[in-house]
Amino acid sequence: MKIEESKVKTKSLFWKSFYGDENAFVTMTEWVNGEGFDVAISANKREQILSLTDEELSAIVALYSGWSLSSPETKEEK
């Protein structure tokens, strides 16, 4: 029998949510193969878990980075 130990890479962020939940958090854990992340989000007494590849997470980050509430949405010309 062989027991393997791995060093899990995890980071967490805690905050007081918009709904008043003082125990809100988001935790990201890198997959063992390094190709993605599990993201756990807990706020307002409910928890959601997303499993995202690096490409999926990069797409979300790019979309969020381009988000601008101060300017109107642009529509693609047809």
72 DSSP 8-state letter: P
Domain-located, residue 34? yes
- What's the predicted TM-score (pTM) here? 0.71
pLDDT at 15: 85
- pLDDT of 52 higher than 90: yes
Q: Which band of pLDDT confidence, cut at 50, 70 and 90, is reported for residue 75?
A: low
Is the confidence at residue 71, as pLDDT, over 90? no
Average pLDDT over residues 30-58: 94
| Counted domains in the chain | 1
User: Using an 8 Å Cβ cutoff, are 49 and 43 in contact?
Assistant: no
Q: Is 4 part of a structural domain of the chain?
A: no
Alpha helices in the chain (DSSP H): 54-65
Q: What confidence tier does 36 reach under pLDDT thresholds 50, 70, 90? A: very high
Torsion 57-59-63-66 (CA) sign:
positive
- Nearest 5°: the CA angle 23, 16, 21 is 55
54, part of any domain: yes
